[in-house]
Amino acid sequence: DEKIKIGVSYPTPTHAWAAGMNWHAEQAEKRLEKLYPDVDLILVNSPDPGAQASALEDLVSVHQIDALVVLPFESEPLTDPVLNVKKSGAWITVVDRGLSQPGIEDLYVAGNNPELGRVSAQYMKGRLKDGDNIVVLRGIPTVIDNERFDAFMAEIEGSGINVLDHKHANWNRDDGFEVMQDFLSRFPDIDAVWAQDDDIAIGVVAALKQAGRDGNGMFVVGGAGMKEIIKGIMDGDELIPVDVLYPPAMIATAMDATVNAFKSNGPVAGRYILGATLITRENAESYYFPDSPF
């Protein structure tokens, strides 16, 4: 058959943000396949970089794809495998994590990690004063985490706000809870928490409530745009008053654009960088997807 085959490859969702992305990808698949009967989207997810490289090989050798939309597990290890797909003649769209070699992809769609750190820090600076103390809970040690963290620290620098310590909470609620419990035992005076991610933030909030330290203007800044958090912001939650967007729906954007590369006569190739919008009570409504798992 003469269908246009588009492979979509991303990491196996093991946390809510990725699940949200998976949801948006599936929604987009249904929508696009209905809209264009001659387009077949093939969604594959992989549990680690090696498996993703294998999946890319399979997309080429078995499915003979015409285009690839890929959210690389990690940039470095997947650069060569994507390059190999490119060599088969397929159109390449890279999502979120850029490859380590320029010029492979035709299209790049991404969130903005440093921006996420920077926006979070700016909000902190706006709410806190000289001499206030914060703690930072980081994600899984990865480039993404480093980019967010470095930008955050650079922005905080010189503001007089003390970062007491930072530990990895692995974008995980349980770890967020336990690390925060220990921070609370260790530091008697904490004024705010940068949790970087909404899952961690949920754990942090549970620890704060348990220790009874959720009052006195204490607040937590997470990130990514989980629906429960956004709902909370809409309802005026004081503990998590804002969120910084890192939209899982970017995969859908990428799929749309890739299909357009075959269907539209407008130019598609290029770079699309999505902003790290600060979600507040005022704009929360427009980022709320109650049906998404995220």
Partner 1 sequence: MTMSTTSDDGEGKTAKRQSIDFKTLGPAIALLILCIIGFLLNPAFISEGNLTNLLTRSAFIGIIAVGATFVITAGGIDLSVGSMAAAIAGVMIIVMNNAVETLGTGVPTVLLGCGIAVLLGIGAGWINGALTTKGKIEAFIVTLGTMGIYRSLVTYFADGGTLSLNFDIRGTYRPVYYDSFLGLPFPVWVFIGVAICGWLLLNRTAFGRYCTAIGSNEAVAKYSAINVDRVKTLTYIIQGLCVSFATIIYVPRLGSASASTGVLWELEAIAAVIIGGTVLKGGYGRIGGTILGALILTTIGNILNFTDMISNYLNGTMQGLIIIVAVLLQRSDWKLGKN
Binding site for Mg ion (CB under 5 A): 41
The residue among 33 and 132 lying less far from partner 1, judged by its C-beta, is: 33
* Nearer of residues 121 and 207 to partner 1, judged by Cβ: 207
- What is the smallest separation between the CB atom of 101 and Mg ion, expressed in angstroms? 30
CB-wise, 25 or 128, nearer to Mg ion? 25
Window contacting partner 1 (CB under 8 A); options: 75-83, 126-134, 151-159, 272-280: 75-83
**Which C-beta is closer to Mg ion: that of 5 or that of 168?**
5
Using rule CB under 8 A, residue 230 touches partner 1:
no
Radius of gyration of the chain (CA): 20
Could you say which residues in the range 78-137 bind partner 1, by CB under 8 A? 78-81, 100-101
Residues 256-275 that bind partner 1 (CB under 8 A): none
178 forms part of the interface with partner 1 (CB under 8 A): yes
Span 4-63, contacts to partner 1 by CB under 8 A: 12-16, 18-20, 22-23, 42-45, 48-51, 53-55, 57-63
User: If binding is defined by CB under 8 A, does position 73 make contact with partner 1?
Assistant: yes
What distance in Å separates the CA atoms of residue 93 and residue 281, rounded to the nearest whole number?
Answer: 34
- Rounded least distance, CB 168 to partner 1, Å: 5
Q: Produce one character per residue of 63-75: b if its CB has 16 or more CB atoms within 10 Å, e if not.
A: eebbbbbbbbbbb
